[in-house]
Amino acid sequence: MKKEFTISLFTEHHIGILNQVTIIFTRRQINIESIAASESAVKGIHKLTIVVNTTEDLIDKVQRQLEKLIDVLKVFVHVNDEIIYQEIALYKVRTTELMKSNKIEFIVRSSNARFLEITPEYVVIEKTGHKQDTTDLLNKLYPYGVLQFVRSGRIAITKQTKELIAYLKEMDEANNQSAKKQITTN
């Protein structure tokens, strides 16, 4: 049975890593629903947050394959209750509709959104939340002339207490022990 998974992929910041990652999903015919890239809390390490709908068996195979990539340091797979996540959406609506009544202002404020820019031709509204929250606001604004709409990829942090830094230290210790064994056997 398919369900939604959020993948946190930590990598060195090298050219071409995104291409290598997306090829793995393409070969397995898994559509990426959302992708976001950013710096991580560890200097020099970047994080890709990828959202997919697939089966547990397939996501396990993808995780193992991703971890085999040279520049990938660690891959975590989470379901929604294991993470805290948000998306950001921007809406561009005609100013004339805003001036006709206070309906748009009421919709924006009741949706916990905010006005970013107001010009004579258009207003830009920002909403942060889950995909359903941003879609709900879009549906409420449609009757008032939405000119443009864009939603970012998901950004997420985990609820787990063991952070990437701990995994990196474990990897360093394992590599050091492996190097020591090689020296003593030679």
Share of the chain above pLDDT 90, in %: 68
Q: Is 143 exposed, middle or buried (0-12, 13-18, 19+ CB in 10 A)?
A: exposed
Q: How far is CA 27 from CA 36, 52, 84, 145, in A?
A: 20, 14, 29, 40
Q: How far apart are CA 100 and CA 90, in angstroms?
A: 22
How do residues 132-169 score in pLDDT, each as one tens digit? 999 999 999 999 889 999 999 999 988 876 666 666 66
How do residues 77-135 score in pLDDT, each as one tens digit? 999 999 999 999 999 999 887 788 888 889 999 999 999 999 999 999 999 999 999 99
For tokens 């006005």, what's the residue?
115
Question: Residue 30 half-sphere exposure, CB side, CA atoms within 13 Å?
Answer: 27
**Is residue 62 very low, low, confident or very high in pLDDT (cuts 50, 70, 90)?**
very high
User: Do 3-78 and 86-151 share a fold?
Assistant: yes
So what's the pLDDT on residue 36?
94
So what's the pLDDT on residue 128?
97
Q: Is the pLDDT of residue 40 over 90?
A: no
Burial 157-182 (b: 16+ CB within 10 A, else e): ebeeeeebeeeeeeeeeeeeeeeeee
So what's the pLDDT on residue 98?
77
Q: How far apart are CA 146 and CA 132, in angstroms?
A: 18
Q: How far is CA 36 from CA 19, 46, 146, 164, 176, in A?
A: 14, 11, 25, 18, 33
Burial 79-97 (b: 16+ CB within 10 A, else e): eeeebebebebbbbbbeeb
Q: Tell me which residue of 107, 180, 170, 174 sits closest to 144, measured CA to CA.
A: 107
3-78 sits in which CATH class?
Answer: alpha beta
Per-residue pLDDT averaged across 17-45, rounded?
A: 92
pTM for the model: 0.80
Sequence spans of domains, the chain: 3-78, 86-151
Of 1.10.1670.10, 3.20.20.70, 3.30.70.1150, 3.90.1150.10, the CATH number of 86-151 is 3.30.70.1150
Q: Which residues contact 2 (CB under 8 A, 6 or more apart)?
A: 53, 54, 55
Q: How far apart are CA 25 and CA 98, in angstroms?
A: 43
